Every structure is written in C-alpha cells, then in structure tokens.
Amino acid sequence: MTRIAFIGAGSVVFTQGLLADLFGFDDLGELHIALHDIDPERLRTAASAAAVIATELGARPTISAHLDRRAALEGCDFVVNIIQVGMNDATRIDFDLPARYGVRQTIGDTLGVGGVFRALRTFPVLRGLAADIAAVCPDAWLLNYTNPMAMNVWYLSALGVRNVVGLCHSVHWTMYDLSELVGVPFEEVRYLAGGVNHQSWVLRFEHGGESLYPALDEVIRRDPEMLRRVRVDMYRRLGYYPTETSEHSSEYVPWYLPHDSEIERLRLPVGEYLRIVEENVASYEKTRDAVKAGDPVPVEATMEYAPQIIHSIVTGAPRTVYGNVVNDGLISNLPSGSVVEVPCLVDALGVQPTAIGVLPAACAAVNAAYVNVNTLVVKAALDQDPRAIRQALMADPATAATLTVDQIWALCNDLVVAHSNLLDPELRAVL
C-alpha cells in the first residue's frame, strides 16, 4: 500500500483537486491518504470531502485524519506540503503594514516584503516537519507546494531533507496558454523553460522543429492590448517569455509597481491576493457546508504535478515535470546551492533534474536579484540573524525601488513585532 500524507490538508479546495487527480489513476494499487491539519474543523471537512471524491470517482482508498503530524507521516512514501502559516490574518498584515510605507504588492507570496515574512513564519514549521520526516519516513518524497517556493525548498534542503522537490503549475499553464494564443495544439508543442520559481523563462517554444516565437510576435502585433501585460512587456525587452502571471511578475523587479504610470499602463491589481483570500474562504465554506449537508462536492482534475510524480514513481511510467530543486550544476550562471526551476524526468528512480546550462545573460541577471533575496532570508533563518532580514529587503528590487534604507529598517521592525508569535525568538529583535 502506498501511503501519502497531506500536510495542511485544511486547504480543502487544493486538497480536493490533488485527490481528484490521484483517484483518476486506476493503476496505483492500494492507497492510504493520511490527512493532517491543526484546525479540527478544516481537518474534518477535508476528510469528509476526500471520502466523497473517492466515492464519486470509484476509488477505494483508506482515509485517515490526524491532528498529530507525526502520526500522519508514519511510514509515508510521499508527503504533500500545502501549509499556510498564519493564514489570512498574517497575509493581511503582510499587505497592510507595507502599504502604510508606500510599498505596493499584488500577490506577496514569493519575494518582496510578503514573500520574506511568509518564509520566516513558515520556516519554524518546516523545521518541525523535517524532523518528523527524518524520524518516521526518511525516504519519503516531500512534494512542496507552499510558497515562497524557492526559499522553502532551499531551507528544507539545508536541514537535510533528502528527497524534496517544489512544485508549481506556472510553466505548464504558461505553455498551455501560449499554445492557444498561437493556434497550435498544446500536445504538439515542444518547449524548454528554466530559471527560478515564478520567474522562469521560455527558452524554446517550437512546433515541427520551428520556433513559435515569430507567431507569438505576430499575435502581439495584431492586439495592442497585449502590450498592457507585464509579462509581454518583459518578453519584448528581455527576449524570452516569463512563465508567471503579470501580477506575480510585477513584484520581482523594480520597474513597475513603484510607478503610478506603470500601474495604469499595465493594469496592475494592487492588493490582488487579498481578494483571492476572500474567494478561498468562500470556497472552503461552500465545501464545508456541502459535506455537512450530504450534498455533492465538485470534483475537477487539476493536472497538478504531485499526483503525476506519485504515479510515475509507483508505476515506473516516465514523464517530465518542472520542479524546483537545488542548483547542483543545473543552471551554471546562477549560484550553486540556490533553488532553480528546471525540467525533471520522473520514473521509478524518483525525480531526476535536467541540466539547462547557461541562461541568456539578461534572464540570469534578473534571476540573480531574486536569488540574492533568497540567500539572505535563508541565512537569517539558519544563522538566526535578524540583520539579514533587513538586508534581504535592501536587496529586494521592488522594495529598494520604493523605500529608503531607514524606511526598510522601520518596516521590518513593525513586521517582526506584528508576526512575533510566528517567528523564531532570535528573529523578533527590533534593530
């Protein structure tokens, strides 16, 4: 029997999609789905929804629910991490306090002020998760969805977690959407991407051995409104299409959010993630109420990577996914030991990253600024160095384009106080 633990299973809507993907395979054999969450109501909802989805898809897994994380992990083959530490209250702090200083954010989960403090409050929980995995399932594959992806995978790897890969759907859906734009079936497109999570680059985009970039250029030429997208603007200037949405992409560079004119030109939705938070709450409540009433639960496959990885390792069926892994010579002009996003072969031997080689110079330069922030945040946690938190935001492109160093220092002081119950004690210092 294959045992799969979902850590943070109370993220019910995401858990539902992953389970729908898993239960859609008919050759996985016996499955044990071990659900863990620290919120009893959300855990009950997740377990009830999992049972409904299994029934609707004709699957017969064993489903168990655990408030104790180590009990859920006992003997697991796979661990799917989907936690959000601090939940909605912490997210609102990440937006509201920086906004008082004039810092604009759209999503705030990967880089910038929101990404840095999301990492710092997630790391203590990841440290406990890593210890539990070492104790009860050291050979398990840890499939991480929790953002900030690159920082979390880097930290977990530094703690000695052997089999960890970060998973994000941005490459897949970027290529799917680009294929639609140029009118070529996605199944016939061949592509290669590489970089860092939420800031990878489409290095090859081909059909029948010919580049599809000229076709994309023609689509953009015919539709001037496409020029009002950040990722199209970046593509035109850097020469390679970025693999994340405009909302995300705008936060990782200094060129857009600090400028009123660019926000208007590129239609940037400042504070967008706060709206998404409300939608997520509404979706959870809808599922909770449905399972309580015995009503059907929507079951929709998501094409996420975690179920595909599990299927390939269990059955040996080979496939390629995009994973976030430690840069051990995979991208030679990004720092060794950082976390990069590259194609990975998956089969019975596990997840095997593919070396990209050298990124185009402009792309590597933009990625390097992102990696610099990651380096300092991970250093802050590993060395318990509160000064490195401030240095990370001094190095962050969008924050540094908006605030003076004194303002960065003051904002960090406000945030460590506001998040003090979730941070390591040594990092709560006001400097």
Please report, in range form, the residues annotated as the binding site: 147, 168, 198
169 part of the active site: yes
Token pair listed for 393: 């935001």
Q: Across the strands, what pairs with 2?
A: 31
Annotated binding site for substrate: 147
Burial (0-12, 13-18, 19+ Cβ within 10 Å), 194: buried
Report the chain's C-alpha Rg in angstroms: 21
- 304, 309, 315, 320: CA torsion to nearest 10: 90
What does the alpha-carbon distance between residue 25 and residue 371 come to, in Å, rounded to a whole number? 37
**In degrees, to the nearest 5, what angle opens at C-alpha 109 toward C-alphas 106 and 113?**
80
Buried b (16+ CB within 10 A) or exposed e, 66-79: beebbebbeebbbb
Residue position matching structure tokens 């976390």: 339
What does the alpha-carbon distance between residue 130 and residue 137 come to, in Å, rounded to a whole number? 10
Q: Which of 308, 323, 118, 109 is nearest to 200 (CA)?
A: 323
Cβ atoms of 373 and 395 closer than 8 Å:
yes
Cβ atoms of 359 and 194 closer than 8 Å:
yes
What would you measure as the largest C-alpha separation in the chain, in angstroms? Answer: 60
Catalytic residue among 36, 66, 169, 259: 169
Residue position matching structure tokens 């655990």: 66
CA distances from residue 319 to 90, 136, 202, 353 in whole angstroms, order as listed = 37, 29, 19, 12
What does the alpha-carbon distance between residue 196 and residue 333 come to, in Å, rounded to a whole number? 12
**In degrees, to the nearest 5, what angle opens at C-alpha 307 toward C-alphas 302 and 313?**
155
Long-range (24+ apart) CB contacts under 8 A made by 267-271 are 267/228, 267/229, 268/104, 268/106, 268/230, 269/106, 270/104, 270/105, 270/106, 271/95, 271/99, 271/105, 271/106
Annotated binding site for Mn(2+): 168, 198
- Within 13 Å of residue 341, how many CA atoms lie on the same side as its CB? 31
Q: Which of 393, 342, 338 is nearest to 368 (CA)?
A: 338
- The set of catalytic residues is 169
